[in-house]
């Protein structure tokens, strides 16, 4: 009778069940943390590009836009991965043309006409992004393959105010 009583005891069953489930639990927790960090940084970049477009809309130069966006990202200069465009169309269909000179103002044209809006964009797949941003958008969950979130482009657009 003592042998049967010993076999029915469940000492250590909880420890075994926890050991079986702890791997899945760790994957869920670390996955949520990694994805949450990537989502937070994506929202940060959206706000930075929107602010950059606002700077361009109120008579800032492309250099001013680059400096403002870089200061707001918190990871250093976004450099050539930041693109600045102007909408030169007066119709409902936008016609965005890239502005490349850092001293040029996106809302001012030499012809005297005023563009409709300024658009800024950061291409996440650009190799010129700082390493900190490149690493954030690659989600590494333990025991799973890496998930690449770098196929997006973040935009900000403001109407010219001149």
What is the DSSP track for 92-114?
Answer: SS--EEEE--TT--TT--TTS--
Q: What is the pLDDT of residue 6?
A: 60
Q: Between helices 13-57 and 62-73, what is the axis angle to 10°?
A: 160
Q: Indicate whether 7 pLDDT > 70.
A: no
Q: Indicate whether 120 pLDDT > 90.
A: yes
Q: What pTM did the predictor assign?
A: 0.79
End-to-end CA distance of the chain: 94
Rounded Cα distance between 81 and 84, Å, is: 10
Band the pLDDT of 21: cuts 50, 70, 90. very high
Of the listed ranges 43-52, 113-122, 126-135, the one predicted with least confidence: 126-135
Tally of structural domains, the chain: 1
Of residues 47, 34, 36, the one with CA closest to residue 154: 47
Domain boundaries, position 97: 2-159
Rounded Cα distance between 160 and 87, Å, is: 9
pLDDT digits (tens, 9 = 90+) for 127-155: 888 887 778 888 887 777 888 888 888 99
Of residues 153, 121, 156, 133, the one with CA closest to residue 50: 156
Q: Indicate whether 1 pLDDT > 70.
A: no
The mean pLDDT value of the chain amounts to: 85
Q: Indicate whether 76 pLDDT > 90.
A: no
């Amino acid at each position: 009778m003592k042998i049967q009583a010993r076999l029915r005891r469940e000492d250590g069953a909880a420890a075994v069940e926890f050991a079986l489930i702890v791997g899945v639990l760790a994957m869920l927790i670390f996955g949520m943390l990694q994805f949450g960090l990537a989502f937070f940084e994506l929202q940060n970049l959206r706000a930075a590009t929107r602010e950059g477009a606002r700077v361009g809309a109120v008579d800032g130069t492309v250099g001013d836009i680059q400096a403002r966006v870089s200061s707001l990202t918190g990871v250093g200069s976004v450099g050539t991965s930041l693109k600045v465009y102007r909408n030169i169309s007066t119709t409902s269909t936008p016609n965005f043309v890239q502005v490349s000179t850092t001293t040029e103002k996106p809302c001012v044209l030499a012809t005297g006409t005023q563009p409709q809006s300024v658009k800024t964009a950061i291409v996440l797949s650009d190799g010129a992004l700082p390493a900190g941003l490149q690493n954030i958008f690659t989600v590494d969950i333990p025991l799973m393959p890496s998930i690449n979130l770098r196929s997006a482009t973040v935009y900000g657009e403001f109407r010219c105010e001149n």
